[in-house]
Amino acid sequence: MNNAVNSQQSSIKAYVANVTNQASAVRAEIAAASTSIKNQALENIANEIQCSSESLKQQNQLDLRAGEKRGLDSALLDRLELTDQRIDAMAEGLLQVCSLADPVGETTDMQTRPSGIQVGKMRVPIGVILIIYESRPNVTADAAALCIKSGNVTILRGGSEALNSNQSIAKCIHTGLEKAGLSKDIVQVITTADRVAVTELLHADNDIDIVIPRGGKGLIEKIMQESRIPLIKHLDGVCHVYIHDDAEIEMATNIALNSKAQRFGVCNAMETLLLDKGIANKILPNLQKKFAEKNVELRGCEQTCKILNDISSATEDDWYAEYLGPVLAIKIVDDVSQAMRHIDKYGSHHTDSIVTNNEDIAQKFLREVDSSSVMINASTRFADGFEYGLGAEIGISTDKLHARGPVGLEGLTTQKFIVLGDGNIRV
């Protein structure tokens, strides 16, 4: 390694150390901030963003032009672009978080013990949250809002292609925080695109409590490899709808169609349809027509191909596939047990739904399928923070611990035990 590289690396290390030190220094401040101060900050930031729309768009243009030069594809450039509408949506998002209940300080499960002490739990912020994301600059405002409201310090590291856009949003956040009397260091946006900064952050396990990676599977797997800090992450969305023998034909058809085709490319879309062998031939021919209207390609197991003889055969890989597009794998099963075994083996434990009028079978499925969302007679597309009433979500977790499924404000907090005594000592 030559001296120039060495010295650049050590200056980035010093920069990151400064960021994490500043984060630690304001942890107690935002954790103790009242709901009204936090809401004031969010309103201020919304206001700053709306008043700064011209400069936000100017800075965004720099990113867009640099992105074009670097040959970014049009989908990525589209995600990167800040329009008036998207700027308004950011501001509205902030106000929406304002209106959510503050989870911090909530006390639950209080009970008096035989010793005389009262014991319960209090909800508190996690501490310092690192969020690593790609391209879309609105995440900068959305994530900051959720972290401020939940009393956490945030370190945001957006994609290098959005550096100027993110810095101009950061300016709005800082002004908004300071006008509410809070330190601007409560939200820090990393100012360098150098990957070394990410590596340094991922090793700062003394100062950062949790990492939330938002982006493609490649990004998340890289972060998993590199970090020892706990993650709230989302890997795959291989979701299933299972149509049981006792399903209503029309309901089952509608749910299958909606789960796959209401929107492609989303993690809660169905990727594999499972059907009991008794009901398959009553549903599949009509469903095939409807999927054809949506240009969905079907790939079936051997039995499915006997019913729909003009579709291609599914391979072993199809059962594992997250198509994120207009392709659906179909498998006919013997019963609920075989369906559940299939889901357990090939699924990603994200969202799985059963369609049936048999209450016992429905309850068995509900209890025993080990996924972050398990549904009866509903479209998998409902697995979403807004649909669940969380108000907003920082992401969907496919992890089992701490936060599972859509993660809202509560997922950004933890609970501590509290004990209220009047001089109690242990005998």
Residues found near its own copies in the complex (CB under 8 A): 28, 31-32, 105, 111, 113, 115, 117, 119, 122, 124, 126-127, 209-210, 224, 228, 230, 248, 250-251, 254-255, 257-258, 262, 340, 344, 353, 366-368, 370-379, 381-383, 387-389, 400-402, 404-406, 414-426
Closer to its own copies by CB, 113 or 306: give it. Answer: 113
Q: How far is the CB of 116 from its own copies (least distance, A)?
A: 9
Q: How far is the CB of 388 from its own copies (least distance, A)?
A: 5
Q: How far is the CB of 95 from its own copies (least distance, A)?
A: 19
**Is the dihedral angle over the CA atoms 68, 71, 75, 79 positive or is it negative?**
negative
Q: How far is the CB of 279 from its own copies (least distance, A)?
A: 15
**32 Cβ contact list (under 8 Å, min separation 6):** 151
Q: How far is the CB of 321 from its own copies (least distance, A)?
A: 19
The answer to whether 213 and 231 have CB atoms below 8 angstroms apart is: yes
**379 Cβ contact list (under 8 Å, min separation 6):** 255, 258, 259, 262, 353
> Rg of the chain over CA atoms, in angstroms?
25
Q: How far is the CB of 188 from its own copies (least distance, A)?
A: 20
Closer to its own copies by CB, 272 or 380: give it. Answer: 380
Closer to its own copies by CB, 66 or 122: give it. Answer: 122
Closer to its own copies by CB, 62 or 420: give it. Answer: 420
Question: What is the C-alpha to C-alpha distance for residues 351 and 382, in angstroms, rounded to an integer?
Answer: 9
Closer to its own copies by CB, 166 or 353: give it. Answer: 353
Closer to its own copies by CB, 51 or 366: give it. Answer: 366
Q: Are strands 187-189 and 107-112 parallel, antiparallel or unpaired?
A: unpaired
Closer to its own copies by CB, 27 or 157: give it. Answer: 27
Q: How far is the CB of 174 from its own copies (least distance, A)?
A: 24
Cα separation values, 199 from 13, 20, 217, Å = 10, 13, 18
Question: What is the C-alpha to C-alpha distance for residues 414 and 127, in angstroms, rounded to an integer?
Answer: 9
**Is the dihedral angle over the CA atoms 356, 361, 366, 370 positive or is it negative?**
negative
Residue 128: name the closest of 63, 28, 209 by CA: 209
Q: SS3 for 34?
A: coil
Q: How far is the CB of 230 from its own copies (least distance, A)?
A: 5
Report residue 108: phi and psi, to 5°.
-135, 165
The answer to whether 351 and 383 have CB atoms below 8 angstroms apart is: yes
Question: What is the C-alpha to C-alpha distance for residues 220 and 94, in angstroms, rounded to an integer?
Answer: 26
Closer to its own copies by CB, 49 or 274: give it. Answer: 274
Closer to its own copies by CB, 197 or 378: give it. Answer: 378
**264 Cβ contact list (under 8 Å, min separation 6):** 324, 325, 326
Indicate the burial class of 53 (C-beta count within 10 angstroms; 0-12, 13-18, 19 or more): middle
Q: How far is the CB of 87 from its own copies (least distance, A)?
A: 27
